[in-house]
Amino acid sequence: MSKEETGRTEESHMARAIELAQGVRTTTSPNPWVGCVIVDGAGEVVGQGATAPPGGPHAEICALALARERARGRSEERRVGKECRSRWSPYH
């Protein structure tokens, strides 16, 4: 994959994290609204999540749980998360 293609892919992953965060914007207070995307060694999204309402898990925990489920039965290269993209809301 070229550097340009990698950049577009990274941008799309961050855009997805932002989209996830915006989707829970009014439901997470007093916690920040966060979206998270986890990408495996082959560049495939293997986990994503958003912060749950208070008392529930944060975005990264949701994304890691999904990635864990998807990792079962995969090769070692595909099993290991390569990158995690999170979007945190600004604190007021």
Active site residues: 60
Give the distance between the most distant pair of CA atoms in the chain.
Answer: 43
Token representation of residue 7: 């950049």
Instruction: Give strand pairing partners of 39.
Output: 45, 83
